[in-house]
Structure 1
Amino acid sequence: MARPKPATFEKTKIVAENRRAKFDYSIETVYEAGIALTGTEVKSLRTGQGSIAESYAEVDDGQVWLINSNVPEFSHGNRFNHEPKRPRKLLLHEREINKMHGAVAREGMTLVPLSIYFNSSGKAKVELALAKGKKAHDKRETIKERDWKREQGRLMRDRG
């Protein structure tokens, strides 16, 4: 019997994407996590603003936090507007948190956010990956492979 494909997350609107993560890290496991946001943060994300380019996640005291993510202040917010770079709590099951904590502590892995998106029911979610950092030679190999695939496509199109 064929092995079932892993479930992909239904992303209806991607707000922020960390495109550099797949180049800098080898991705092992991907999780979907909710984010604890305030009202003005949600409004700001719905307008398409937000960045996770230099952000990471860490497990602290049985909770996972998204650190250094930037959600700019909402333009029509009042004095209760949010702080742009505050740590945001990620909502995960306890078993998932324990797995992440073990992998980060024992195996030296990193928690990297891949994207922030809204799912079909309108809730903001983070695609979080357990990843291991690539060495320089691995990055060069990735570049070679990507260039060869591009060249292959050109050759097939020309001979076509």
Structure 2
Amino acid sequence: MAIKKNKFDKIINIRNKKASHEFEFVDTFVAGLMLTGTEIKSIREGKVSLTEAYCYFRRGELFIKQMHIAPYSMAASYNHDAVRERKLLLNKKELDKLETKFSEKGLSIIPVRIFINDKGLAKIEIALAKGKKLHDKRQDIKEKDVKRELDRMKF
């Protein structure tokens, strides 16, 4: 019996590693992305950068800005703009919840990771986050070092 291969077998999981160091996550959501043309092909190649990206509300809709999706190498003249604002797709209930919490002082919405789901659609995980202070960052680094040392001692 032949093994049935899925056309979306390549796992794409691009993380914003800086985000967990700079922010403390309050709540996370998974949103769809509104893409044009060759953007999905570049995402499947893994050519995405989330380091400078952030989310904001405009007229009750959520947008992501400064997310860099590299132009698709095989496209001729119909390539996309690498850094443009893209609309995020969420339920109305989730948008209302995010917007009320976002209006509080000190909270921001940042992208944490981008991935391709089982159906082959690009999804982005966003987090409602609060910025960390310098002493919080030092404490986190200290805890990671202690955990690493304990793991080394076990083996």
Residue 104 of structure 1 contacts residue 110 of structure 1 at CA under 8 Å; is this kept in 2? yes
Q: How many residues align?
A: 146
Amino acid at match of 2:60: G
Residue among 29, 41, 44 paired with 1:43: 41
Matched with 2:85 is 87
Matched with 1:53 is 51
Amino acid at match of 1:117: F
Percent of aligned positions with the same letter in both sequences? 38
SS state of the match for residue 102, structure 2? helix
Report the Cα distance in structure 1 between the residues aligned to 2:70 and 2:102, rounded to whole angstroms. 29
How big is each residue's C-alpha offset from its partner over 1:38-85, in whole Å with a ceiling of 9 and x where there is no partner?
120011111111111111111111111111000011112132211000
**TM-score of the two chains, using structure 2 as the length reference:** 0.90
Report the Cα distance in structure 1 between the residues aligned to 2:134 and 2:65, rounded to whole angstroms. 26
Matched with 1:151 is 149
Please show how residues 66-81 of structure 1 align to structure 2 within 5 Å.
66-81=64-79
Residue among 29, 32, 55 paired with 1:31: 29
Matched with 1:7 is none
What runs of 5+ residues in structure 1 fail to find an aligned partner? 1-11
Residue 29 of structure 1 contacts residue 129 of structure 1 at CA under 8 Å; is this kept in 2? yes
**TM-score of the two chains, using structure 1 as the length reference:** 0.87
Could you say if the C-alpha distance between residues 48 and 87 of structure 1 is closer, same or farther in structure 2, counting changes exceeding 3 Å?
A: same
Amino acid at match of 2:121: K
